[in-house]
Structure 1
Amino acid sequence: MNYLEKYKEYPLTYGLMLISIVVFILGALSPSLDQYFYENGVLHGYSVIVKGDFLRLISSTFLHSDAVHIVMNMLSLYIVGTMVEKLFSKTAYLSLYFISAFFGSFAAIYMDLGVQAVGASGAIFGLFGALAGFAFVHRNTMRNQFIAFMKNFGLILVLNLAIGFAFPSISISAHVGGLIAGMLGGFIIAKNAKYLGLYAIGSFLLLFVLYKYFLILYNAV
């Protein structure tokens, strides 16, 4: 199978990877452009909550701090994303990805109102959570695969916590926020694909409530 055929099979996963890689290369080649990306695209609690710069919730997922960061995230996105793209519709995939990213960002903001963060980890963990939700729904029809998956699931969670404690710059809260959002979404959509709209609407209503709550917190400090 050539690269074009692979792209046609997993257009969303490769598309998301391509955007991140292009942005990283452009930033590496141009310090001024890299500075622009950082100033205008990084997740920043104050800018998102007080200034209403919600675009940062999306742009920050395509920014990465260094080569190791982007390589690890793109490898994870490739492994998990292609699996999700096989099991869910294109609309469900994108919904899971960005809703997980939003909840991951809000979780990071909740832990630190002044947070400044980049990366697609929250979204990627959301996709991983979606696989867990899907596996749980179909646990009776895919028992052996479910058991194997849950073992790997637990191992990855433990490793993530260990890495997070070893490197304080990594936001565990963003990972957990994205994971929970994706797991819930994967469970709901696997139950009935028609519930995708309900999941999306419910998610954005909850995000709106969290946003209002954060406004109160900012006014209190």
Structure 2
Amino acid sequence: MKEFSRYKVTYSIIAINSVIYLLSALFSGSIVDMDMHVLVDMGALYGPLTVLKGEWWRLFTAMFLHGGMTHILMNMVSLYIIGRGMEMYFDTKSYLSIYLFSGLLGGLVSLYIHPASVGIGASGAIFGVFGALAGFFIAHRKHLGEHTKAFMKEFTVIIVINLVIGFSIPNVDVSAHVAGTIVGFIGGYLLSKDPKFIGIYSGLMVLLMLAIMAYLPTMYVQTFT
């Protein structure tokens, strides 16, 4: 219980994803691989429905859906490792805002790059958390010194590995990963300087989301007609 109270945001997100995965497994009739039609019905990100039908809520629901056992295990283990570090350096509001905006904007970028694909998973948001930690260490590099250098070396290696994996394996959405990392980095840098900047950060991210959402319908009409 003490462990949960210390890392309550991370464990809560993992629990929510796990419960939703079990529900999708129940509807799919398999615990290993999810039925894509079930995932779309449950709120997966699918361009024609999200953009052309105005079902923008899918940007949020898709963050909690996963395509199979390997997919969710990789994401939840990653979140377990870096999420606890996030809670050591950021307050709850900062963590949640970075996580959500990274996932949402990662989804929007995915809709732009892959208009006809089905998008699911928490990886955009998780990469945002990783980016936020990078922003924290960069913002405090004068005080942290060698710790910053060590983290940035690890950060670079992990990013390169994920890019190689992403370009090598079909269905891995690198665009959402990159977008999530950038959004998280910006939030991590600003909010580690002062948590009161959360209003500025949130406002900028909302404006960016609205701008992309205003542009996408025009692009989709040209693509699908």
2:169: which partner in 1?
A: 167
2:27: which partner in 1?
A: 30
* 1:146-165 equivalent positions in 2, closer than 5 A: 146-165=148-167
Give the gaps of 5 or more residues in structure 1. none
Q: How far off its partner does 1:21 sit?
A: 0.8
Q: Deviations over 1:16-67 (max 9, x none)?
A: 1001111112222332796544323111122222222122111111111111
* 1:42-191 equivalent positions in 2, closer than 5 A: 42-191=44-193
Between the aligned partners of 2:21 and 2:203, the Cα distance in structure 1 is 32
Between the aligned partners of 1:216 and 1:26, the Cα distance in structure 2 is 35
SS at match of 2:66: coil
SS at match of 1:106: helix
Q: How far off its partner does 1:72 sit?
A: 0.5
Q: Deviations over 1:131-151 (max 9, x none)?
A: 000100000100111000000
Between the aligned partners of 2:78 and 2:211, the Cα distance in structure 1 is 31
Which of residues 3, 25, 30 in structure 2 aligns to 1:6? 3
SS at match of 1:65: coil
Task: Give, as a single letter, the amino acid of the residue that structure 2 aligns with 1:14.
Answer: Y
Between the aligned partners of 2:115 and 2:25, the Cα distance in structure 1 is 29
1:208: which partner in 2?
A: 210
Between the aligned partners of 1:118 and 1:61, the Cα distance in structure 2 is 6
SS at match of 1:215: helix
How many equivalent pairs are there? 218
Relative to structure 2, which stretch is displaced further, 40-49 or 151-160? 40-49
Between the aligned partners of 2:69 and 2:98, the Cα distance in structure 1 is 26
Q: How far off its partner does 1:219 sit?
A: 2.5
Aligned residues with identical type, % of pairs: 39
Task: Give, as a single letter, the amino acid of the residue that structure 1 aligns with 2:2.
Answer: E
Task: Give, as a single letter, the amino acid of the residue that structure 2 aligns with 1:100.
Answer: S
Q: Deviations over 1:193-212 (max 9, x none)?
A: 11111100110111100111
Between the aligned partners of 1:45 and 1:130, the Cα distance in structure 2 is 28
